[in-house]
């Protein structure tokens, strides 16, 4: 992780979804970028607040609670919400109501920069043979993908109407290492994710920028030329894991994980 400079620091940075998988990773990595890191989740956060941290539990579906959560913050990294495919009613509360409440609170409290954790599942129904840029028509692969597509629309609206700037990161697969062949293309290392969030927080004049969150993988499906102004230059690659991944039994050619960019999300549900 690169060293911060005075121009790459805010007084109070809000991280939602701080108890989740990526939230736990970013809690440590985002500390240098703020005098105070405010951590929030509906789940309990451990350990308790350390130096230069605040822990504020919050249900994103509660508009008043979110308004109080955002008060006093200078920027927001919004990871909060349901992070997997679930019934629509569950997605509605945390992901759809939640992202609206975050932006309404940002408007009310004068927050001018949001980093929104969007997802590759916004374009999950494209085939793995297709190459996409940020202008590709969205093709969500489930209720989760729909919620992230809605979040990108909210981000655009709040920029056009109130000047709140957002970088929507269409996160691929951010784990310690790729778990399967599909993730060889979608993998995003923690170091590259941290770098991308840093660029998203501090690059001036981003308006609403959509960027694909992937490392410098050999067979990547996404073109980030429309986000070149961020200066994001991933350093890691999934190639170091290729032998391990290719030792796995191959998936059937009819398996969604071998066909669609969104993989198995395209086949989950309905939840009746």
Do the domain assignments include residue 73? Answer: yes
Do the domain assignments include residue 1? Answer: no
Instruction: Supply the range of the domain harboring residue 36.
Output: 10-267
Catalytic annotation, pick one of 103, 144, 190, 260: 144
In the sheet with 113-119, reading across from the earlier edge strand, the strands are: 53-55, 34-40, 10-16, 75-78, 113-119, 165-171, 208-213
In terms of pTM, does the model score above 0.85? yes
Name the DSSP letter for residue 191.
Answer: H
What is the pLDDT, as a whole number, of residue 272? 83
Do the domain assignments include residue 5? Answer: no
CATH number of the domain to which 198 belongs: 3.40.50.720
The closest of 46, 37, 120, 20 to 76, measured between CA atoms, is 37
How confident is the model over 46-73, as pLDDT tens digits? 878 889 999 999 999 999 999 999 999 9
Please check whether residue 121 is in contact with residue 267, taking contact to mean a CB–CB distance below 8 angstroms. Answer: no
Do the domain assignments include residue 241? Answer: yes
How confident is the model over 97-130, as pLDDT tens digits? 999 999 999 999 999 999 999 999 999 999 999 9
Could you give the angle at the alpha carbon of 150 between the alpha carbons of 86 and 43, nearest 5°? 45
Is residue 260 flagged as an active site residue? no
Do the domain assignments include residue 188? Answer: yes
Residue 228 CB neighbours (<10 A)? 10
How confident is the model over 222-268, as pLDDT tens digits? 999 999 999 999 999 999 999 999 999 999 999 999 999 999 999 99
The closest of 47, 56, 46 to 12, measured between CA atoms, is 56
CA distances from 155 to 33, 171, 264 (A): 23, 16, 27
Q: How many domains does the chain have?
A: 1
Radius of gyration, CA atoms only, the chain: 18
Q: What is the 3-state secondary structure (H, E, C) of 66-110?
A: HHHHHCCCCEEEECCCCCCCCCHHHHHHHHHHHHHHHHHHHHHHC
Task: Compute the mean pLDDT over every residue in the chain, rounded to the nearest whole number.
Answer: 96
The closest of 144, 204, 146, 194 to 169, measured between CA atoms, is 194
Q: CA-CA-CA-CA torsion for 124, 130, 135, 141, nearest 10 degrees?
A: -10
Query: What's the whole-number mean pLDDT along residues 84-104?
Result: 97
**5: confidence class by pLDDT, cuts 50, 70, 90:** low
Do the domain assignments include residue 3? Answer: no
């Amino acid at each position: 992780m690169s060293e911060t400079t005075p121009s790459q620091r805010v007084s109070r940075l809000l991280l939602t979804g701080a108890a989740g998988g990526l939230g736990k990773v970013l809690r440590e990595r985002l500390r240098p970028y703020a005098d105070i890191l405010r951590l929030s989740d509906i789940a309990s956060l451990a350990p308790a607040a350390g130096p230069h941290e605040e822990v504020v539990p919050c249900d994103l579906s509660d508009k008043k609670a979110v308004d109080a959560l955002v008060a006093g913050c200078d920027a927001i990294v919004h990871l909060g919400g349901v992070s997997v495919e679930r019934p629509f009613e569950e997605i509605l509360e945390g992901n759809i109501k939640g992202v609206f409440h975050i932006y309404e609170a940002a408007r009310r409290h004068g927050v001018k920069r949001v980093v929104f954790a969007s997802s590759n599942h916004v374009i999950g129904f494209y085939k793995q043979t297709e190459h996409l840029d940020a202008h590709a028509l969205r093709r969500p692969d489930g209720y989760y993908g729909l919620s992230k597509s809605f979040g990108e629309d909210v981000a655009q609206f709040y920029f056009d109407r109130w000047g709140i700037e957002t970088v929507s990161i269409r996160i691929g697969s951010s784990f310690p290492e790729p778990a399967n062949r599909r993730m060889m293309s979608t993998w995003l290392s923690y170091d590259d994710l941290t770098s991308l969030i840093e660029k998203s927080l501090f690059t001036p004049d981003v308006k609403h920028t959509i960027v694909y969150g992937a490392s410098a993988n050999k067979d990547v499906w996404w073109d980030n030329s429309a986000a070149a102004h961020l200066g994001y230059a991933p350093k890691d690659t999934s190639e170091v894991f290729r032998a391990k991944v290719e030792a796995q039994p191959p998936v059937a050619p009819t398996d969604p994980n071998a066909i669609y960019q969104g993989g198995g999300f395209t086949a989950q549900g309905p939840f009746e």
